[in-house]
Amino acid sequence: MAKKIVTKRSWAEPFKIKMVELLKMTTPEHRLKAISSAGYNTFLLRSEDVYIDLLTDSGTNAMSDRQWAGLMLGDEAYAGSRNYYHLETAVKKFYGYKYLVPTHQGRGAENILSKCLIKEGDIIPGNMYFTTTRLHQELAGGIFEDVIIDEAHDSTNLHPFKGNIDLNKVEALIKKHGASKIPYICVATTVNMAGGQPISLENLKALRKLTLKHGIKIILDMTRVAENAYFIQQREKGYANKSIAAIVKETCSLTDGATMSAKKDALVNIGGFLAVNDKKVFEEARNMVVIYEGLHTYGGLAGRDLEAMAIGIEESLSDDHMAARVGQVIYLGEKLIDAGIPIVQPIGGHGIFIDAKRFLPHVKQAQFPAQALAAAIYTDSGVRTMERGVVSAGRKANGENYFPKLELVRLTIPRRVYTQAHMDVITESIEHVYSIRKKIKGLQMVYEPKYLRFFQARFKPL
C-alpha cells in the first residue's frame, strides 16, 4: 500500500510557558449574582469572578522572561533614568521618530498632543473615532470628523483594508473648512472600533501626498501598528517578502508623529508615549508632560516600566510573534464563522467582534443589544467580553446619543496569554448562547456617568 503523504504542517506559538496564573472556576449561579451586582456591565465585574478574560488586549499581555529581567534593571532616578535612553533608542531605531515624550499610557499622550495642536473650533479628521482619542480632541476644543471608507461601517463587507481613509471625505473637509482649520489627521492602525481592520500603505501614501499639498500633519495612533503591518504583509501587493519591522518603519515614515498605547502591541502592562519629528511640537509637549504626567524622562512611569517597554517594542516586531498572535485570533474567528455566528469580517487583528444586531435582531439598539449579549456570554461561561456599540459611542455635545452603525461585542485576545483550548471553550460558549438567543432581553441604563460612560454605566434587564 502506498504511504500517505502528509502535506499539512501545523504551527504553534514561538514560546513555551514558564509560569502560570491559576484561575477560579465558577458556577452559573455565582456568575448570575456577579453580573447583576456589576449592573450588567462587564467592566464592573471583579476579575476573580472571570474565567477567560477577553475584556481587552490592553495591558493584559504576558511579558517575556527578558522583559521580566528588564524590570530588575530599572533605574529609578527621578531624572535622566538609563531606561529612558534605552526607550528613546528603541523608538528611533524601530519607529524612526526623532523625539520621544513618555506617558503613563496612550490617553496621556492623546491629552498632551491635543492640547499642543488643537485650537477651539478645529476639525480633526480620523479613520473612525476611538473613545479616549475623540474625547481628548473635544476637550481641547476640536471637532472629530469620521473619514473612514464607508465599507468599514458594514460588518459583512470583505474589503481587505477597511481601515482605509476616504480621500474624498478629507478633500471635502478641506474645501468646507480650509486647511488652516485642520491641524492634523489622526490615522489609526488596525482600527479598533471597526473590528481591528487595517489601513494599507497605498492609502497612507496617497493621504500623505494630499496632506503635504495642504500643509496638514498626519499623526498616527500607532497602538496596534505591528498588527497592521502583518495584514499589509499578507494582503498588500509588493509586501509579501518584507518584514513586519520594515513595514512598521515605512508606516511611521509617512507620518509626522504618533501617540502610542504600549499596553497593546508593545507587550507591556502599562506605558505609552508621544513621538514627533517637529522640534517645536516636541519642546511644547515635553514642557506639558511635566504638568500632567511627570518629568519628561519618566512620564508617569517607573524606570522598570520604560525598560520593559523598550524590550517589548523589539519583541513585537518579530515575524514569528506576529504570525502566532494574529494567527490565534484568526483560529478563533474561523471557528465562530464555521458555527454560523455573525462576526465582523474580515477577521481583525486583536479580537473577534460579534455583530450584536444580527445576533439579537429582536433587541432594539436603544436597548443596548451588545451590552446585553456581553452579560449573557459572561453568565454562560465566565468569559468576559465588552460592548462596542451605542454605550461606547456615548453622547454628542447636544446630548443626543450617537447610534453607531456597528453594534458589536468584542472578544479581545490578550497577547501570549491563552491557549488553543481556551479558544475552543470560548467558541462552545458563544455557540450555546446563540442557540438560546431568543431568550436574551434588552437592558435599561440606570446610571450614566458624564465621560466615557461605558466604563462605569449600570443597567438592569427589561
> Quick one: 208 or 263, whose CB is closer to ligand F0G?
263
- For ligand F0G, what does the binding mask look like between residues 194 and 233, x meaning CB under 6 A? ---------------------------x-x----------
- For ligand F0G (CB under 6 A), the number of binding residues is 15
Residue 154 falls in the annotated catalytic set: no
Residue 459's SS3 state is strand
Q: Which amino acid is at 25?
A: M
Q: Taking CB positions, which residue lies at the least distance from ligand F0G?
A: 106
Binds ligand F0G by CB under 6 A, chosen from 51, 94, 97, 130: 130
Q: How far is Cα 457 from Cα 448, in angstroms, rounded to an integer?
A: 5
Q: Which of 131, 251, 255, 379 is catalytic?
A: 131
CA distances from 448 to 39, 76, 230, 408 (A): 11, 40, 38, 20
| Binding to ligand F0G in span 43-62, by CB under 6 A | 56, 58
Which one of the spans 100-108, 141-149, 295-303, 442-450 is the region binding ligand F0G (CB under 6 A)?
100-108
Residue 138 φ/ψ, nearest 5 degrees: -70, -40
Shortest spacing between CB 6 and ligand F0G, in angstroms: 40
Q: How far is Cα 433 from Cα 383, in angstroms, rounded to an integer?
A: 12
Report residue 16 as a C-alpha cell: 513555551
User: Residue written as cell 487583528?
Assistant: 349
Residue 402 falls in the annotated catalytic set: no
Judge whether 202 and 149 are in contact, CB under 8 Å. no
> Quick one: 56 or 381, whose CB is closer to ligand F0G?
56
Residue 131 falls in the annotated catalytic set: yes
Residue 411 φ/ψ, nearest 5 degrees: -105, 95
Q: Strand 272-276 relative to strand 99-103: parallel, antiparallel, unpaired? A: antiparallel
| Binding to ligand F0G in span 236-265, by CB under 6 A | 261, 263
Residue 454 falls in the annotated catalytic set: yes
User: Residue written as cell 473637509?
Assistant: 173
Q: Which residue, 357, 371, 396, 355, is CA-closest to 457?
A: 371
> Quick one: 131 or 203, whose CB is closer to ligand F0G?
131
> Quick one: 111 or 367, whose CB is closer to ligand F0G?
111
Binding site for ligand F0G (CB under 6 A): 56, 58, 105-107, 130, 132-133, 188, 192, 221, 223, 261, 263, 272
Residues taking part in catalysis: 78, 130-131, 221, 264, 388, 454
